[in-house]
Structure 1
Amino acid sequence: MSEAVHYRVSMSRPHTHLFEVEARFPAGPEVLDAVLPVWTPGSYLVREYARHLQDVTAVGPGDEALPVQRVDKRTFRVRAGGKAVSLRYRVYAHELTVRTSHLDGSHGYFNGATLFLYTEATRHLPHHVTVKEPEGWRTFCALERQGEAFIASDYDELVDSPFEVGPHTPHTFTAAGVPHEVVIWGDTVADAEKLTSDLQRICEAEARLFGGLPMRRYLFLVYLSDKGRGGLEHQASTALLFPRAGLQSSRGWEDFLTLAAHEYFHLWNVKRIKPRALVPFDYSQENYTTLLWSFEGMTSYYDNLFVRRAGLMSAQRYLTRLGETLTNLHTTPGRRVQTLADASLMSWIKHYRPDENSPNSAISYYLKGEVVCALLDLEIRRATDNAKGLDDVMRLLWQRYGDGSGVTEEGVEAAVNEVAGKDLTSFFDRAVRSTEELDYSVFSHVGLEVSFRVRDSAADKGGTPPARKTGEVKPKGWLGLTTRGQATVSMVVDGSPAMEAGLYPEDEVVALDGYKVDGAGLVGRCEDRRPGETVRVTLFRRDKLMELPVVLGQKPADAVYLTRVDKPSEAQKTAFQAWLGAAWDEALG
């Protein structure tokens, strides 16, 4: 046996959702401890993948049976006597997300962290994977292929290379001289030519920022389902989950492109420019860093920007989407409770484990990080008279840390200060290390200002100015909760009238002022009342009928939108042009 770890993956009975795996480890220690990761890079949550392993057995080089001892939740011990060992086991896979694995009669998708046992002693060796496909299926992976085997230089590269197996016909294109492949599961795309054309433009726009692409080929794995949205970045590929119905509308298509642009930007920001705290990955436990606001938030800032730069989003639409992001931030009370640095550090127990109190107690480092990076870009442009911006920070980080050595916890801030030519500590103290409201005055540098209004409905995402109405606009009553289903309370806003009156998550509201009501009617009828009026909310709590009086508050003005300043200077117009590549007069209609 060569000095490599060999895996064979089979799926003889796809309807059982069980992958069959054989892992062959070369001769080595007397005792072999084979372990499975508890998390996968890019998704900062301990997911306990070992809970899906079953039927683990071991054999020696002569196929003689060896006893296997389960040491802990993720470790399988074999007394190998210094000889080669093969572990055979099955893995249950019936969770269709980009960070897990899924097998059924239509395809097989697997992330390495969920499937491949490894040992610390052999982690640095090459890892080879052979896939036995059902008849008519093909295997797709970004790894190089030698004969029947896919070759990873080490276990880290293997974990970073998801596999898709199925009866798919890929779509291809070339961007910046590099071949790209798009494999789609779940449905067909009505206009595959438009899909590849749009992706090509985005990929080339991102490549221009860094002067080329850092890989020899790239694979998009696209999963179109009835629900769900998300992506997971990899060193030369990405997996994208998106609702198939979303591709039928222009806004849904736009949203898909921003998702693809986000994961593609991770080729640089996360996969190669990465926090030093994650070098090397410790697959056994949480890996802590305060920098996720930069690595994810900055990527979120660039995803819309690159769709714009690719000519696939107008400047006006870009500003509307930015306003929607600001609205999302200002409708999250947790921004006043958790700092951005802490949101990054505590992602393991907060971001990926939301509950009914999360909006009150936490903030997303994607969300606030995107806004902070937009402000940071403008701060640098203002400090350098538009000579430099966040692009220059990314190029500097790429130059210094693109080798994967890792950015120190202070490294991003130091790079920003260097590019800006001034100390921006006060900006970081406020935006990243405190819960103060952000300072939006820097938008004036590009001739814009931030405005607030009352949302028209729960579906109002903000981003646009108020609809023109004649006559006096009366204040709206406000309850301060959200519902799901018929009218089950899902979240109560901290300090709201609903909280003060004693309404709880999971309360089932059945009537308002004695009349039957559903969730939409509950909110709408309260908004028709004046602030200060008392309403009677009838509900079931753990099957007990109750009635609570609630004194309505005034609906807050938390929808955010950007407007043009009056009488902009030529400098402001020039700065806007440099930022978004469009004339200031074209922005916002």
Structure 2
Amino acid sequence: MKEAVHYRVSMSRPHSHLFEVEARFPPGQDVLDAVLPVWTPGSYLVREYARHLQDVTATGPAGEALPVQRVDKRTFRVKAGGQAVTVRYRVYANELTVRTSHLDGSHGYFNGATLFLYTEATRHREHRVTVEAPEGWRTFCALERQGEAFTAPDYDELVDSPFEIGPHTPLSFTAAGVPHEVVIWGDTVPDAERLTTDLQRICEAQARLFNGLPMQRYLFLVYLTDKGRGGLEHKNSTALLFPRAGLQSLRGWEDFLTLATHEYFHLWNIKRIKPRAFVPFDYSQENYTTLLWAFEGMTSYYDNLFVRRAGLMSAQRYLTRLGETFTLLHGTPGRHTQTLAEASLLSWIKHYRPDENSHNSAISYYLKGEVVCVLLDLEIRRATDNLKGLDDVLRLLWKRYGDGSGMPEEGMEAAVQEVTGKDFTSFFDAAVRSTGELDYSVLSHVGLQVEYRVRESANDKGGTPPPRKNGEVKPRGWLGLTTKGNATLATVLEDSPAMEAGLSPEDELVALDGYKVDAANLLNRCEDKRPGETVRLTVFRRDKLMDIPVVLGQKPADAVYLSRVDKLTDAQKAAFQSWLGATWDETLG
């Protein structure tokens, strides 16, 4: 067996935010190029991790100093002469996200892509990591442990296994016969027993779909903070960032469960069934695929669905959340500009790098991908008289590509055709390769229809019917912009009155019709006026004071909710129950 690559990670001064790393590469290379990834799988943005490396030195087998030449932004070259080389360096880690690394007096967390230099010559060898933790701290990682070292069969699995080090006491449960651990940093959860019980139910619901779990153990790393929400999937673990205050409410708890469900579902969908474009990963640059909508959008569809299947969300609540998702999509003008396939392909420069025009020029492959997968599931059910669904497509993909060989770009479409025996080209042309509006008519298969109403406020997420009001509801004035902070324009929507008038992102609000205004009351004051009225908005653009007249439009009905069709048939009732596992008697009144 070929000699392994060895790493030693220490943190002698946690408050310095510096991990101290020692990487020992076995003999065999005349010139050793030690490189660091520029991105990490699951987060499709070049993050330039090497910018945080410092104090890089190298020594030979007898401890003799070897010169290190920095060749480019990520490459450190050592003339090894065929001998073993040890590279020592420090990594600054003060970014608490699931995609990066963080070290302070309370804990240490790192993704391998941010910390571990590697060589292409030894990439497929075993990699071993020993962690020297401060006294009283423990090390948690999903990798197999042999003595003091965590072992990975290759570099890919190493960087797909984040580490958490700290004075933590983990929670544990067993799902589908597999042990699971939950390690929490930042605070204690209000109900630990409820947390493990709910997670267990969700994990077992997913295991039933695939007839078992694909790993020997699983690790949830949970980071409770003052703000922020996100997750990153890994082959046998996940890291979840969530606002601690959110766990105090029913809606916040539900949101945490959907986040955990999403990342857990990636065990199959992208960690094992993955785009062929990712085989093998190229850590030096972007890896392009048009399929992220299928891997992330479909996972977003299933995250709510599995909370529902686990009995932790009512069918009515599921439909409300679905309406909120539809509302988000219809409030994004970029759906008319960017296709779902293009959104996937350009995630590297669009989704993870939003700006003030992103709302007008781009669409999230998570968001539209979720809606498309709802419609696709129902189209499959309608085409097969409810004998098949998207579940069957997933099981076929798991059987065919679950070995990690990679799904070709046409693989999703081909699998749908194989499961249904029918040609779905027109569906994919319209939903994935077009910027046209989606066709929601298939919702009638389960007795549903899409309806629209005007949002009641800036915080109105849609998903619910309009409130009952006495008397005629007058049309509301509309600017067509969003704000940020106390007095700044964030986004000016395409074809809106604000855009036609010449308002611009970053304009600083001063007054409306000569009276002081801020972000909190600007939109409300405009809505009190009638469409067609002209208002005078005073703003600072950079340091110049400007008066801009705006002819108000009519506030659009872009809040979406789902309602029951008239004259519901027995077939629609049966299809609905097959889909959501609930009867109509307990849903939508």
The separation in 1 between residues aligned to 2:588 and 2:291, in whole angstroms, is 33
Residue aligned with 1:577, SS? helix
2:219 aligned with 1:249: no
Amino acid at match of 2:410: E
Question: Is the contact made by 2:2 and 2:125 (CA closer than 8 Å) also made in structure 1?
Answer: no
Aligned position for 1:339:
339
Aligned position for 2:473:
473
Amino acid at match of 1:328: L
Q: Note the 1:284-433 alignment, pairs <5 A.
A: 284-433=284-433
The separation in 2 between residues aligned to 1:333 and 1:186, in whole angstroms, is 38
Question: Is the contact made by 1:383 and 1:421 (CA closer than 8 Å) also made in structure 2?
Answer: no
Aligned position for 1:48:
48
Deviation at 1:144, TM superposition (A): 0.3
* CA deviations over 1:92-144 (Å, ceiling 9, x no partner): 00000000000000000000000000000000000000000001000000000
Deviation at 1:520, TM superposition (A): 2.1
Residue aligned with 2:241, SS? strand
Aligned position for 2:137:
137
Residue aligned with 2:270, SS? coil
Amino acid at match of 2:430: R
Question: Is the contact made by 1:231 and 1:263 (CA closer than 8 Å) also made in structure 2?
Answer: yes
Q: Note the 1:492-503 alignment, pairs <5 A.
A: 492-503=492-503
Question: Is the contact made by 2:59 and 2:87 (CA closer than 8 Å) also made in structure 1?
Answer: yes
Aligned position for 2:581:
581
The separation in 1 between residues aligned to 2:292 and 2:587, in whole angstroms, is 31
Amino acid at match of 1:451: E
The separation in 2 between residues aligned to 1:188 and 1:546, in whole angstroms, is 51
2:119 aligned with 1:119: yes
Aligned position for 2:173:
173
Question: Is the contact made by 2:7 and 2:128 (CA closer than 8 Å) also made in structure 1?
Answer: yes
Q: Note the 1:498-513 alignment, pairs <5 A.
A: 498-513=498-513
Question: Is the contact made by 1:447 and 1:564 (CA closer than 8 Å) also made in structure 2?
Answer: yes
Question: Is the contact made by 2:9 and 2:19 (CA closer than 8 Å) also made in structure 1?
Answer: yes
Aligned position for 2:514:
514
Amino acid at match of 2:424: L
Residue aligned with 1:28, SS? coil
Question: Is the contact made by 1:35 and 1:74 (CA closer than 8 Å) also made in structure 2?
Answer: yes
The separation in 1 between residues aligned to 2:112 and 2:305, in whole angstroms, is 32
Amino acid at match of 1:181: E
2:243 aligned with 1:275: no
Aligned position for 1:185:
185
* CA deviations over 1:162-182 (Å, ceiling 9, x no partner): 000000000000000000000
Residue aligned with 2:179, SS? strand
Residue aligned with 1:450, SS? strand
2:208 aligned with 1:208: yes
Residue aligned with 2:471, SS? coil
Residue aligned with 1:323, SS? helix
Aligned position for 2:545:
545
Aligned position for 2:37:
37
Amino acid at match of 2:368: K
Aligned position for 1:459:
459
Aligned position for 1:73:
73
Percentage identity across paired residues of the two chains: 84
Deviation at 1:308, TM superposition (A): 0.1
* CA deviations over 1:207-260 (Å, ceiling 9, x no partner): 000000000000000000011100000000000000001101000000000000
* CA deviations over 1:9-41 (Å, ceiling 9, x no partner): 000000000000000000011100000000000
* CA deviations over 1:451-503 (Å, ceiling 9, x no partner): 00000011000000000001111111000111111120011001111111111
The separation in 2 between residues aligned to 1:380 and 1:562, in whole angstroms, is 20
The separation in 2 between residues aligned to 1:392 and 1:297, in whole angstroms, is 17
Residue aligned with 1:505, SS? coil
The separation in 1 between residues aligned to 2:167 and 2:448, in whole angstroms, is 51
Residue aligned with 2:121, SS? coil
Deviation at 1:566, TM superposition (A): 1.2
Residue aligned with 1:491, SS? strand
Amino acid at match of 2:391: D
The separation in 1 between residues aligned to 2:277 and 2:420, in whole angstroms, is 26
Amino acid at match of 1:296: E
The separation in 2 between residues aligned to 1:237 and 1:28, in whole angstroms, is 33
Aligned position for 1:63:
63
Question: Is the contact made by 1:221 and 1:240 (CA closer than 8 Å) also made in structure 2?
Answer: yes
The separation in 1 between residues aligned to 2:529 and 2:579, in whole angstroms, is 44
2:3 aligned with 1:3: yes
Aligned position for 1:102:
102
The separation in 2 between residues aligned to 1:515 and 1:418, in whole angstroms, is 64
Deviation at 1:404, TM superposition (A): 0.4
Deviation at 1:324, TM superposition (A): 0.1
The separation in 1 between residues aligned to 2:476 and 2:278, in whole angstroms, is 48
Aligned residues: 589
The separation in 1 between residues aligned to 2:392 and 2:421, in whole angstroms, is 12
Amino acid at match of 2:199: L
The separation in 1 between residues aligned to 2:491 and 2:568, in whole angstroms, is 42
2:513 aligned with 1:523: no
Deviation at 1:517, TM superposition (A): 0.8
The separation in 2 between residues aligned to 1:185 and 1:310, in whole angstroms, is 26
The separation in 2 between residues aligned to 1:474 and 1:415, in whole angstroms, is 50
Residue aligned with 1:296, SS? helix
CA RMSD of aligned residues (A): 0.7
Stretches of 4+ moved more than 4 A in 1?
A: none
Deviation at 1:2, TM superposition (A): 6.7
Between 1:339-348 and 1:486-495, the stretch displaced more is 486-495
Residue aligned with 1:536, SS? strand
- Extract unaligned runs of 5+ from structure 2: none
Deviation at 1:585, TM superposition (A): 2.5
The separation in 2 between residues aligned to 1:432 and 1:418, in whole angstroms, is 19
* CA deviations over 1:73-109 (Å, ceiling 9, x no partner): 0000000110000000000000000000000000000
Deviation at 1:510, TM superposition (A): 1.1
Residue aligned with 1:121, SS? helix
Aligned position for 1:162:
162
The separation in 2 between residues aligned to 1:11 and 1:245, in whole angstroms, is 30
The separation in 2 between residues aligned to 1:228 and 1:25, in whole angstroms, is 38
The separation in 1 between residues aligned to 2:5 and 2:179, in whole angstroms, is 29
Deviation at 1:361, TM superposition (A): 0.2
Deviation at 1:417, TM superposition (A): 1.2
Amino acid at match of 1:359: H
Residue aligned with 2:406, SS? coil
* CA deviations over 1:257-311 (Å, ceiling 9, x no partner): 0000000000000000000010000000000000000000000000000000000
Deviation at 1:518, TM superposition (A): 1.1
The separation in 1 between residues aligned to 2:112 and 2:178, in whole angstroms, is 25
Residue aligned with 2:430, SS? helix
The separation in 2 between residues aligned to 1:252 and 1:122, in whole angstroms, is 45
Question: Is the contact made by 2:26 and 2:85 (CA closer than 8 Å) also made in structure 1?
Answer: yes
